[in-house]
Amino acid sequence: MTKPIILTGDRTTGPLHIGHYAGSLANRLACQDSHEQFLLLADTQALTDNAHDPEKVRRSVTEVALDYLAVGIDPTRTTICLQSHLPALAELSMLYLNFVTVSRLERNPTVKDEIRARGFGRDIPAGFLCYPAAQAADITAFKATVVPVGEDQAPLIEQTNEIVRRVNATANQQILPEAVAVIPKTGRLPGIDGKAKMSKSGGNAIPLSASPDEISAAVKAMFTDPNHLRIEDPGRIEGNVVFTYLDAFDRDKTAVEALKEHYQQGGLGDGVVKKRLDDILQALLGPIRTRRTQLSKDPGYVLDTIKQGTERARERTDATKREVVEHLGLFRL
Ligand code: TRP
């Protein structure tokens, strides 16, 4: 039986953090045997909002690849590949841009949020506005039906499926499959300051490579309930980052529920809850950090992994591109 295909990836703009772990990496790890999985180092997409800093985009390719390998992505089961070295993705993007309108691109909720967050105003890079069509190319070039991503990516998968339906309708044939986004139930992990988005640039992230001291400092600084001044006071768990993180990372759900109850009644100090979270994060990130340090001493291995993965991915994506061009009925020489 052939396994369902996964294509997913990350913009290469910096090392990944625990938000990525909870949001998508954990799902990707769980799919390594059940699915045929491709992980895309999305450097050309990273360039759509980092054209002023290609050096950062280049450097981050190895950082993200190291993060993948350190968390346990196994290159013998999952193919890690580099977007800029898969020409079929760029070619499919150009074709798909004819199956989407500018106003539809402007209405994409993720694109809208990102335009606001980056302060583009009216000066939106054209490549940025069009990246949803390029992401449709990424997904369909692999004929992926499953895309494990954070919840912010859901509108992009929806838009991908719209393009898929239009292309299939024009080709009068089901050449491309639609895809389903696999999104974790816990929702997006907030930054340690309680802000909606964890990001390196926001200074509110815990990178996967954080040292033990950095982890402890981040947990200490974490936003809790500002009105929980004395231990005996009842505390709020809504918007309390420590509890949000326990929900995401503590496997003992019964213990977390008991802690929440105690906290809400009063008599449980932030320090105790933070200590528990600190232990859990240290246990999660310790082995990842060790492996990352080991791997970073062997850049040749990391480079070979990306090279071999990209070659495998090239065959696959070239074949899909040929199929699309053929079925759309373009001239053939
Ligand atoms: N948009 C994703 C991000 O912001 C990266 C990405 C590029 C992606 N192509 C993809 C994700 C295809 C899933 C599928 O990190």
Q: What is the pLDDT of residue 43?
A: 98
Q: What is the pLDDT of residue 195?
A: 86
Tens of pLDDT along 110-135? 999 999 999 999 899 999 999 999 99
Give Cβ neighbours of residue 194 (< 8 Å, ≥ 6 apart): 223, 239, 241
Instruction: Compute the distance from residue 86 Cα to the ligand 1 centre, in Å.
Output: 15
Percent of the chain whose predicted confidence (pLDDT) is above 90: 93
Q: Is 39 in the pocket of ligand 1 (CB under 6 A)?
A: no
Q: Report, as an integer, the average pLDDT of 255-283.
A: 97
Give Cβ neighbours of residue 50 (< 8 Å, ≥ 6 apart): 13, 56, 57
Instruction: Compute the distance from residue 41 Cα to the ligand 1 centre, in Å.
Output: 9
Q: Is 11 in the pocket of ligand 1 (CB under 6 A)?
A: yes
Residue 194: phi and psi, rounded to 5, are 90, -5
- Domain 5-188+298-328: which topology? Rossmann fold (3.40.50)
Q: Report, as an integer, the average pLDDT of 43-50.
A: 98
Instruction: Compute the distance from residue 276 Cα to the ligand 1 centre, in Å.
Output: 33
- pLDDT at 139 > cutoff 90: yes
CA-closest residue to ligand 1 atom 5: 10
Query: Domain ranges in the chain?
Result: 5-188+298-328, 212-294
CA-closest residue to ligand 1 atom 12: 8
Tens of pLDDT along 60-103? 999 999 999 999 999 999 999 999 999 999 999 999 999 999 99
Compute CA distances 275 → 37, 82, 93, 203, 218, whole Å: 36, 40, 48, 22, 12
Q: Is 132 in the pocket of ligand 1 (CB under 6 A)?
A: no
Angle between helices 109-118 and 131-141 (to 10 degrees): 130
Instruction: Compute the distance from residue 68 Cα to the ligand 1 centre, in Å.
Output: 14
Which CATH homologous superfamily contains domain 212-294? Tyrosyl-Transfer RNA Synthetase (1.10.240.10)
- pLDDT at 186 > cutoff 90: no
Q: Is 10 in the pocket of ligand 1 (CB under 6 A)?
A: yes
Q: Is 22 in the pocket of ligand 1 (CB under 6 A)?
A: no
Q: What is the pLDDT of residue 18?
A: 97
Instruction: Compute the distance from residue 164 Cα to the ligand 1 centre, in Å.
Output: 17
CA-closest residue to ligand 1 atom 15: 10
Instruction: Compute the distance from residue 257 Cα to the ligand 1 centre, in Å.
Output: 34
Contact 302, 78 (CB under 8 A): no
Q: Is 7 in the pocket of ligand 1 (CB under 6 A)?
A: yes
Instruction: Compute the distance from residue 193 Cα to the ligand 1 centre, in Å.
Output: 25
H/E element holding 111? helix 109-118
Give Cβ neighbours of residue 248 (< 8 Å, ≥ 6 apart): 22, 186, 189
What helix, strand, coil percent values describe the chain, rounded to 5? 60, 10, 35
